[in-house]
């Protein structure tokens, strides 16, 4: 469907839990967050009903995220149900990768097509500093298992201002050696992310082109949204840039988000949206759910206002899903 700004909305990101087995400094406080009660989290049946209504509205792509989606019990069951919804063409996941070794094969069997693995550094010590956990090896094993299972893999690197030139180049070499696209995501001033300065993607592009020569824009890597991909040399490595802060891309926004407690969130950095859990539990019909979602999505805000809300304490990304 189109919203009132004439944007096609065909993508939903669903946070299936607020819980996580890591504590990334820009996402969650060290002590963690008080987890929601299980009964406050949407059931799989409720998520599926929302996606069925979404599919009728023209949503074709679903991203399962969190918190950490792989800590939610029997996540494969949800993936299988989502891939079975008529009109849903692609179900993917964003994960920190720690549990992928155990889960990759069953996720693939359930119909998942790809995983974005969040990995902000290739240095195990720095990884432990950023995530406050010693899980680097599990993530690397998880990436290998995902590839072996036949899942497409991309790396998401949330860029903190400490990312050095050497680390940028290490990611580029990793991309070439493993044939895995690496996406650099500018730190967004959301939740704990407000404590970190943005290192702009243009600076990373400069580091890469100084080392490898001219970067060429590439359309070979497919994704759900705003990443712009580049390659170099013989086209063996790929990097993507998601520049939500330095290059606002709201005019081409194609997505809505569903929080784990059932709020249909219309924009990453806005309170706009509608609670779906209440109406679902009060017995709303499928047609009423469709109408509620349609009215709400039609009023999606025109753009985010990262530059304005610096003083306000908003939700952390583990609640929103990235
Ligand atoms: N736990 C999973 C993971 O880490 O991939 C899924 C949820 S996590 C919130 C989704 C993505 O949001 C991750 O790639 C993470 O790096 C990113 N993220 C979290 N906080 C962010 C921030 N303030 N700015 C930019 N990206 C952020
Ligand atoms: Fe967990 Fe993902 Fe947030 Fe890191 S970014 S704390 S892995 S939810």
pLDDT in tens, 249-288: 889 999 999 999 999 999 988 889 999 999 999 999 999 9
292-320 residues labelled b (16+ CB within 10 A) or e (exposed): bbeebbeebbeebebeeeeeeebebbbbb
Per-residue pLDDT tens over the stretch 189-212: 888 888 888 888 889 999 999 999
In this structure, of 142-146, 224-228, 294-298, the range with the lowest mean pLDDT score is: 224-228
Asked which of 48-57, 137-146, 186-195 is least confident by mean pLDDT, the reply is 186-195
Per-residue confidence (pLDDT) for residue 89, from 0 to 100: 98
- Look at ligand 1, atom 4, and give the residue with the nearest C-alpha: 96
Q: Give the C-alpha separation, 235 to 223, whole Å.
A: 18
Q: Ligand 1 test: best mutation among 23, 24, 27, most atoms within 8 Å of CB?
A: 27
CA distances from 131 to 31, 127, 311 (A): 12, 6, 25
pLDDT score recorded for residue 12: 98
Ligand 2 pocket, residue 22 CB under 6 Å? yes
Return left, alpha or beta for 56; rule: phi > 0 is left, psi -120 to 50 is alpha, else beta: alpha
Of 309 and 58, the one with more pLDDT = 58
Quick one: pLDDT at residue 307? 59
| 119 in contact with ligand 2, CB cutoff 6 A | no
Ligand 2 centroid from CA 60, angstroms: 26
Atom of ligand 1 nearest to the CA of 320: 9
User: What is the predicted pLDDT for the residue at 314?
Assistant: 62
pLDDT at 143: 98
Atom in ligand 1 nearest the alpha carbon of residue 66: 7
Percent of all residues in the chain with a pLDDT value above 70, rounded to a whole number: 97
pLDDT for residue 309? 52
For residue 115, is pLDDT > 70?
yes
Q: How far is the CA of 300 from the centre of ligand 1 (A)?
A: 22
Considering the chain, what is the average pLDDT of its residues?
93
DSSP result, 41-110: SPPHHHHHHHHHHHHHHT--EEEEESS-GGGSTTHHHHHHHHHTSTT--EEEEEE-STTHHHHHHHHHHH
Q: Please give the number of the atom of ligand 1 that sits closest to the Cα of 318.
A: 9
Mutation probe of ligand 2 site: the residue of 21, 24, 100, 185 with most atoms within 8 A of C-beta: 24
Q: Check whether 311 has a pLDDT greater than 60.
A: no
Residue 244 has pLDDT above 90, yes or no: no
Give the closest residue (by CA) to ligand 1 atom 11.
Answer: 322
* Ligand 1: centre distance to CA 94 (Å): 8
pLDDT in tens, 75-96: 999 999 999 999 999 999 999 9
Express each pLDDT in 168-181 by its tens digit: 999 999 999 999 99
Lowest mean pLDDT among 137-141, 152-156, 173-177, 245-249: 245-249
Which residue's CA lies nearest to atom 17 of ligand 1? 322
User: CB of 66 closer than 6 A to ligand 2?
Assistant: yes
CA 245 to ligand 1 centroid distance, Å: 15
- Nearest protein Cα to ligand 2, atom 8: 67
pLDDT band at 308 (very low <50, low <70, confident <90, very high): low
Q: Is the pLDDT of residue 310 over 50?
A: no
* CA-321 nearest atom, ligand 1: 9
User: CA dist 258 to 12, 75, 132, 204, 218, Å?
Assistant: 7, 16, 27, 31, 31
pLDDT band at 236 (very low <50, low <70, confident <90, very high): confident
Rounded mean pLDDT of 97-106? Answer: 98
Residues 37-54 pLDDT 10s: 999 999 999 999 999 999
């Amino acid at each position: 469907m189109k919203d009132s700004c004439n944007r096609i909305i065909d993508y939903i990101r669903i946070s299936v839990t607020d819980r996580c087995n890591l504590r990334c400094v820009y996402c969650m406080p060290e002590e963690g967050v008080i987890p929601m009660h299980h009964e406050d989290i949407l059931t799989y049946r409720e998520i599926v009903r929302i996606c069925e209504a979404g599919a009728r509205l023209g949503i074709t792509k679903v991203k399962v995220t969190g918190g950490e989606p792989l800590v939610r019990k029997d996540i494969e069951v949800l993936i299988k149900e989502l891939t079975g919804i008529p009109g849903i063409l692609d179900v993917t996941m964003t994960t920190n990768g720690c549990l992928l070794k155990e889960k990759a094969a069953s996720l693939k069997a359930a119909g998942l097509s790809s995983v974005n693995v969040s990995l902000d550094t290739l240095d195990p010590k720095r990884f432990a500093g950023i995530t406050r956990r010693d899980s680097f090896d599990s993530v690397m094993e998880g990436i290998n298992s995902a590839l072996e299972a036949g899942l497409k893999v991309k790396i998401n690197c949330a860029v903190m201002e400490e990312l050095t030139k050497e680390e940028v180049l290490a990611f580029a070499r990793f991309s070439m050696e493993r044939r895995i696209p690496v996406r650099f995501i500018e730190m967004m001033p959301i939740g704990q992310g407000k404590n970190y300065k943005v290192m702009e993607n243009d600076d990373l592009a400069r580091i890469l082109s100084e080392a490898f020569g001219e970067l060429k824009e590439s359309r070979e890597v497919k994704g759900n949204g705003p990443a712009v991909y580049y390659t170099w040399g013989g086209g063996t490595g790929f990097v993507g840039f998601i520049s939500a802060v330095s290059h606002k891309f709201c005019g081409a926004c194609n997505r809505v988000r569903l929080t784990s407690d059932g709020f249909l969130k219309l924009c990453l950095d806005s309170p706009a949206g509608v609670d779906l859990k209440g109406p679902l539990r009060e017995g709303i019909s499928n047609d009423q759910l469709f109408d509620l979602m349609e009215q709400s999505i039609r009023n999606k805000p025109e753009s985010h206002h990262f530059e304005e809300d610096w003083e306000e304490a908003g939700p952390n990304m583990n609640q929103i899903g990235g």
